Structure 1
Amino acid sequence: MTSHLDPRQTLRRQLRQTRRSLSAEEQLAAATQLVFCLKNHLNLPEVENAKRIALYLTNDGEISPHLLCDYYWQQGIQTYLPVIQGKQLTFARYTPNTVWQENVFGIKEPVTTEYLSGDELDVVLLPLVGFDSQGGRLGMGGGFYDRTFADKKANEKPLLIGLAHDCQEVKNLPVEGWDVPLQAIITPSRIINV
C-alpha cells in the first residue's frame, strides 16, 4: 500500500538535493542577504525587541544563520540552539565558548544541563526543506519542531520564522494537519509574512 506521505517524501528528496548543489559562494551570499533582510525589511517588533532567539547549525545544504548569530551577539541578544530530548526539542544557550556533542543525526548540540522550553524564547528561526508563498512548510520529516510547538497559539511566543534558499520554493506545498504554521518565511530575496 502506498503511503499518503510519498509525494512529500519525493519532494523532500528533490529539494534537499537542490539546496546541497549550491556552491560555497552561493551559500555565503545567501547567508549575507539574510542579515540584510532581517535588519532592513522584516519590520516585526517581536524580532526587533527579542531578547532570546533560537537558530540552528547548518546541515545538509540549509541556508546558514551563522552571520545572523554574529549580528545577534553584537546586539547583546541571547542565542539558543535546538537539542533533541526524546521526540521534542529543548533549547540550549549558544556562546563562542560552547562545548559540543553530536546527536543521533550527527548534528552538533551544546553540552549543558540548562535548557529553555520553546515558549521561553521570543523568536525561533528554523530551517526549511521547502515552502510555498502561502506559508506552507516542509521540514526534514522528523517532526521535532511540529511536536515541540504543537500547542502554540498563533499570537503566543515564540514567533516562528522559517529560513530557506529561494530555490526551495514550490508552487503549492501539501500541508498536513500536524504541520505547525509559521509567522514568516525569509529567503535571500524576499520575506513572506503569513
Structure 2
Amino acid sequence: MNIKKSKLISRKNFSAIREKSLKRNELKIYNNVEYYLKKNFRDNSSNLKKYIGIYWPLAGEVDLRELKDTINASFALPCCEFKGEMQYRDWTNEKLNKDACGIPAPCKGKLIKPEEMRIIFVPALAIDKKGFRLGYGGGYFDRLRENKSWRSILSFAVLPGECVSKAPLPLDPWDIPFDGWITEDGEHQIKT
C-alpha cells in the first residue's frame, strides 16, 4: 500500500479514536498542558518576553485558548496567509479574521520570529513513539519546521493518549518529528 493511502486510512481510524477519547479526556489534557507551562516556564522577565504558540481549535481538537487567561505570557496563533504557508502572529485582544484556510487568526498581528518563541503546541490526530505526527495532510507544520530555526523550538502534539500509536505511523520524506506530546496522562518528551 502506498504512503498516501496508508495515511488516509490512519487519519480515518485515529479521527474516530480521538473523537471518542477526547470527550472523556479533554479537561485532563488541558490541565496537563497548563501544569507543564506553570512548572517549566515560571514567570520571569526572560520568559515573559517569549511567546507560547497554540492554535485555534477545530472540531475534535483540545481547546487551549483559556491558557491566555491563566498563564502570564504572550501567546501566538498560526496564520495561513496563502495556500501552504503558515506563520505565527501575536495574539492580542484585537478582532481575529479568517485566514486563507478559514481559521480565525490574528492576520494583522505582529509577525513572530522563531527566536521570539519558547514553545509550540500543535493539534494532532496521532503521534508515534518517535514523535512523528499525523495531521490532516496539509503539511503546514512540516513546511514551517523545515526551517531549522523553527525546528529548534520545543514542539509538542496535544492529543488523547489513545492516539499515541504504538506502531510507527506512515511517513513521507518531509515529515519532521516533534519533541513529544501531552495527553491526559501528562507530558512525554522524546529522548534523543
Query: Smaller-chain TM-score range?
Result: 0.7 to 0.9
Partner of 1:83: 79
| 1:145 aligns with one of 118, 122, 141 | 141
Identity of aligned residues (%): 23
State the distance in 2 between where 1:124 and 1:100 align: 20
Q: Distance in 2 between matches of 1:181 and 1:94?
A: 26
CA contact (8 A) 2:81 2:99 kept: no
Equivalent AA in structure 2 for residue 20 of structure 1? E
Q: How far apart, in 2, do the equivalents of 1:165 and 1:69 lie?
A: 22
Partners of 1:29 and 1:21 in 2: how far apart?
A: 15
Cα separation, partners in 2 of 1:183 and 1:26, compared to 1, 3 Å: closer
1:122 Cα offset (Å): 2.1
- Contact between 2:3 and 2:171, CA under 8 Å: does it hold in 1? no
Instruction: Note closer, same or farther for the CA distance 1:28–1:190 as it changes in structure 2 (3 Å cut).
Output: closer
Does structure 1 retain, via aligned residues, the 8 Å contact 2:156–2:182?
yes
Equivalent residue for 1:134, pick from 125, 130, 133: 130
Q: Label 1:117 to 1:89 Cα distance change in 2 as closer, same or farther (>3 A).
A: farther
Structure 2, gaps ≥5 residues long: none
Q: Is residue 35 of structure 2 the alignment partner of residue 36 of structure 1?
A: yes
Residue 191 of structure 1 aligns to a residue in which SS? strand
Question: Which runs of 5 or more structure 1 residues have no equivalent in the other structure?
Answer: none
Q: TM-score, normalised by structure 2?
A: 0.81
- Tell me the SS of whatever aligns to 1:116: coil
Alignment of 1:84-163 (within 5 A): 84-86=80-82, 87-95=84-92, 97-112=93-108, 114-152=110-148, 157-163=152-158
Q: How many angstroms apart in 1 are the aligned matches of 2:153 and 2:12?
A: 29
Q: TM-score, normalised by structure 1?
A: 0.80
Shift of 1:54: 0.9
Equivalent residues, number:
184
CA distance in 2, matches of 1:136, 1:113: 30
Cα gap change, 1:14 to 1:103, in 2 (>3 Å): farther
Superposed displacement of residue 138, structure 1? 0.9
**One-letter code aligned to 1:174:** P
1-side partners of 2:64 and 2:182: how far apart?
A: 11
Paired residue for 1:20? 19
**Residue-by-residue CA offset, 1:36-90 (whole Å, 9 max, x unaligned):** 34434xx589xx9462111001112112222333333xx2x11000000232211
Deviation at 1:166, TM superposition (A): 1.3
CA 1:63/1:23 → structure 2, altered by over 3 Å: closer, same or farther? closer
**Superposition CA RMSD, Å:** 2.7
Residue 165 of structure 2 is aligned to residue 170 of structure 1 = yes
1:179 equivalent in alignment to 2:175: yes
Following the alignment from structure 2 to structure 1, what is the Cα–Cα distance between the partners of residues 102 and 74?
Answer: 25
Tell me the amino acid that sits aligned with residue 160 of structure 2.
Answer: H
CA distance, structure 1, for counterparts of residue 160 and residue 115 of structure 2: 27
Give the match for residue 57 of structure 1: 56
